[in-house]
Structure 1
């Protein structure tokens, strides 16, 4: 749980977290209702139950997917269908076509396609990432080297080749992403 009180009004902003994922958020001026909602969440309530009891609680379909245990599939589906201009759909489709990558949790950061072996934050950073470049190429680096000046594992002009480089550098026993975080 994260709770912040507003400075100029009687209002509490709340975030409801589970396994490294912000599952829901809420805002209310009713201190008693806020306390009850927190207690309901901490008692193990499902999102739909929390929302039914406290209409000021909001959550999205990705939170529902995390709750069901299919966050990996839902996130891939979101990336494959989004009209967002910063998403390179050729790259997404090339990665999605590979079962080993499709089993990992995808996430974007600064136009870079990242893969994690867990679904919650903090994510794992032991899998190479792919960054589309301004000249239409694909730069494969380790997460900590993803800046334009960092050392590259490879640079290709085809998203399928970039994906092949990532697969060649997967850690041993890199199985499907698990629910939870990379941290303790």
Structure 2
């Protein structure tokens, strides 16, 4: 079951029972939430991220997932520092090519994002996109303040 926005998958599963498929579709379209859907149809699977979207907390869920992920243990201190900043904590975090991206809207790429790239020496470069100013050679202690300088009080990127 895909989202109408972006390419987010809410849930998936398989069964050879055509009747179950029809019932899943009907239940989903009538607003049955993910957990009750899985209770009725055990072949349905969904992620913590799908539950976060369902609760209306995608950014908070994404932060929690990243901070708990052992694949990002080397970034944990950076992630914790950024999440503690009130302007950044509402942005949607994700990694792409070892660059942390803080998206204004996870479904609208043109809404803008802040890109944070570790430089390997404990320093970072920070850039707002598309084509925004680049702040290079930022230390971890200053990272959250520098990154949040790109965000206005409404949670939008400064022009």
Q: CA deviation at 1:105?
A: 1.9
Aligned pair count reads 155
Q: CA deviation at 1:88?
A: 1.0
Alignment of 1:36 onto 2:17: no
> What TM-score results when the alignment is normalised by the length of structure 1?
0.70
Kindly indicate whether the alpha-carbon contact (under 8 Å) linking 2:101 and 2:114 is maintained by their aligned counterparts in 1: yes
Kindly indicate whether the alpha-carbon contact (under 8 Å) linking 2:37 and 2:44 is maintained by their aligned counterparts in 1: yes
Kindly indicate whether the alpha-carbon contact (under 8 Å) linking 1:75 and 1:105 is maintained by their aligned counterparts in 2: yes
Kindly indicate whether the alpha-carbon contact (under 8 Å) linking 2:127 and 2:135 is maintained by their aligned counterparts in 1: yes
* Greater relative contact order, per chain length (Cα 8 Å cut-off, separation 6+): 1
Cα distance change of structure 1 residues 95 and 124 upon mapping to structure 2, 3 Å threshold: farther
User: Aligned to 2:141, what secondary structure does the other structure show?
Assistant: helix
Report the aligned-residue RMSD.
2.7
- Bigger share in strand: 1
Distance 1:86 1:142 in 2: 25
Distance 2:16 2:33 in 1: 23
Q: Given the alignment, which residue of 107, 123, 139 partners 1:121?
A: 107
Q: Given the alignment, which residue of 82, 90, 93 partners 1:95?
A: 82
Q: CA deviation at 1:92?
A: 0.5
Kindly indicate whether the alpha-carbon contact (under 8 Å) linking 2:124 and 2:139 is maintained by their aligned counterparts in 1: yes
User: Aligned to 1:57, what secondary structure does the other structure show?
Assistant: coil
- Bigger share in helix: 2
Distance 1:89 1:132 in 2: 12
Q: Which runs of 5+ in 2 are unaligned?
A: none
- Deviating runs (4+, > 4 A) in structure 1? none
User: Aligned to 2:3, what secondary structure does the other structure show?
Assistant: strand
